[in-house]
Amino acid sequence: MKKIFNIECKNLVGQRVELYGFVSEIRDHGKIIFFDLKDRSGIVQTVISQENKFFPLAKEIKPYSVVKIVGKVQPRPAHLENPKLETGKVEVSIDEIYLLSLAKTLPFDVETDGYEIDEALRMKYRYLDLRRPRLIKNLRRRHEFLLFIRNFLDSKGFIEIETPILTKSTPEGARDYLVPSRIYPGKFYALPQSPQQYKQLLMVSGIERYFQIARCFRDEDPRGDRQPEFTQIDLEMSYAERDDILNLIEEMFVSVIENLYPEKKITKIPFPRLSYEEVLSLYGSDKPDLREDPNDPNELAFVFIVDFPMFEIKDGKLEPMHHPFTQPKLPDGSKDKEEILKVLQTQPEILLSEQYDLVLNGYEIGGGSLRITDPDILIKVFEVLGYNRKEIEEKFGHLISAFSYGVPPHGGIAPGVDRILMILENEPNIREVIAFPKTGEGRDYMMDSPSEVREEQLKELKLKVEVKNKK
C-alpha cells in the first residue's frame, strides 16, 4: 500500500488506501464523523464510527489539521452521492487516522474565491490563501502553460539558457534594483531589468536560438498590472527578419490556446499587424482591445503593433521608445547606414524603429525588436541619448567589443507570463496568478518587506542610511 492522491480513490473501490491532507470540513453526528480530506488533487469524503479505536482522536481534530488516513474505498449510497465532487460517488471508511499537525482557526475562509477578502489580509497569510481551489488551479495552469512553451520552443530548435541575476547597472528604461558588494566596497551589482545584453551576446556566441523563462526586476512606480519582479518568456533568434519572429510567436500562442484553452476563441488568425501610426489614428491607443464583444472573457483578440518611432520625448528629454539596442530605420523603411547616421545627427526624432509589440484584449503582453548590430550606429544612438564616449565605454564597452568580432543579425521578443495568464484565467490582476506577489504598492506583508537591516550588515557593506526627519 502506498500514498495516493485523493482523486485516485474514484477508481479504487474495494481497495485499501493511504491518504494524506488537510481536513477541510468536519461533520460530527455524534456516533459518526465525516471528514472532507483535501489534498492538491481535490477532496474525498472519509468517515469514522464510534466503534473505531481511533474515534477519540478523531474527536480532537480541528478544521485544516493535517492527517494521515488509512482505510477502504467504498461506494456511497446512490442517494448520498455528491455530483459536485469528482470523487462524489465514493467515500473512504477510516480504519486508522493519525494527527500530523493540529491547526488553529484560520483567519479567513479558504474555500471561497477570496475576492471578498481584504487583499492586505490575504497577502499577509498568502500561504493560507494559496489553499483556495481557484489559486491552486491558477498555479497548476501556470505550470502547464510554461511546460507547453518550453516544449514548443524546444521543437523549434531553441536552447534554454540561464543568464546572471547579479549583473551590471545599465540604462534600459527603468530604475535598477541595486545590490551592494561586500568584497568591493562602493561598487554595486544590479538585478536585471531583462536579459537583454546577455541574450545578444549569446547570438555573438553562435547559439542562434535562445530562450529563458526569465525573472526580471524593475524599480518602477506601483501599478495594478506591474510587479517589482516578474517573469517573461525571453527569446532571441539569429538570422531572423521581423516576420520570422512574429510568425513564430503567433504559432506559439495559437498552439497554446488550442491545447490548453480550447474553450477560448481567437478573434482573427493570422493576427492583425498594424503600424503605430495606424493604430493611434484608428483607436487612439497603441494597446487596442479588438474583441468583437469586449464583454466575452473567452474571446482573445491578438494584434501586433509595428513601426514604432525610434525615440520619444519624456520630460523634455529624448529617450528610446523601446530600448537603445533597437534597430532604427528611415521613415521610408530604409536601413541605409550612412543615411541613418546622418539623420541621427540632425533629426533623430523622425526615425522609425524595428520595434514590435504584441497586444491582447487591450493589454501589451510582449515587446521586442530587431537589434542594432553595427557598432557605429549603436555608439551614435547612445550619443544622441546624451552619453559621452567615456560613459558609453564604461556602460556598453563589452557589447561594442563583442560586435567587433563578428555578429549575426538578430532580434527577439519577451512576452510577459504574468499578464498573459491573468487574461487567460480571467483574473482581475496579475497577483492572482503569482504564488507570492507583492501588493500593488510593492509590499510583502507576509515577509514584512522591504524592511530595515542590522547595523552590522550596513557596516560590512560600508553603507550608511540617511533618514530624513519627518515634519
pLDDT tens digits along 31-49 = 999 999 999 999 999 999 9
Average pLDDT, integer, range 404-428: 97
Domains of the chain and any CATH numbers? 6-101 (2.40.50.140), 131-433 (3.30.930.10)
d(CA 448, CA 20): 32
Note the pLDDT of residue 1. Answer: 75
Report the pLDDT value the prediction gives residue 314, as an integer from 0 to 100.
87
Q: Where are the beta strands (DSSP E) in 150-287?
A: 159-160, 178-180, 188-190, 209-217, 229-238, 265-266, 273-275
For helices 133-155 and 417-424, the axis angle rounded to 10 degrees is: 120
Mean pLDDT of the chain: 95
Residue 221: its pLDDT value, please?
81
Tell me how far CA of residue 124 lies from CA of 46, 85, 449, in angstroms. 32, 30, 11
The answer to whether residue 105 scores a pLDDT higher than 60 is yes
In this prediction, residues 117-123 reach a mean pLDDT of 95
Instruction: Specify the length of the chain in residues.
Output: 471
On whether the CB atoms of residues 19 and 69 are closer than 8 A, the answer is: yes
Q: Checking DSSP bridges between strand 410-415 and strand 229-238, what pairing results, if any?
A: antiparallel
pTM: 0.94
Instruction: Report the alpha-carbon angle 240-245-246, nearest 5.
Output: 145
What is the pLDDT, as a whole number, of residue 470? Answer: 58
Q: What is the pLDDT of residues 133-181, one digit of tens each?
A: 999 999 999 999 999 999 999 999 999 999 999 999 887 667 899 999 9
Phi-psi sector, 193: left (phi>0), alpha (psi -120 to 50), beta: alpha
Q: What are the cell numbers at 290? A: 479588438
Does residue 450 have a cis bond before it (omega within 30 degrees)?
A: yes
pLDDT at 2: 78
- pLDDT tops 90 at residue 466: no
Residue 112 confidence (pLDDT) above 60: yes
Q: How confident is the model at residue 79 (pLDDT cuts 50, 70, 90)?
A: very high
Contact 67, 61 (CB under 8 A): yes
Averaged pLDDT for residues 71-79: 95
Helix, strand, coil % over all residues of the chain, rounded to 5:
30, 30, 40
Cα(342)–Cα(64) distance, integer angstroms: 70
Q: What is the pLDDT of residues 267-298, one digit of tens each?
A: 999 999 999 999 999 999 999 999 999 999 99
Is the separation of the CB atoms in 76 and 88 below 8 Å? yes
> Per the structure block, which three cell numbers stand in for 315?
520630460
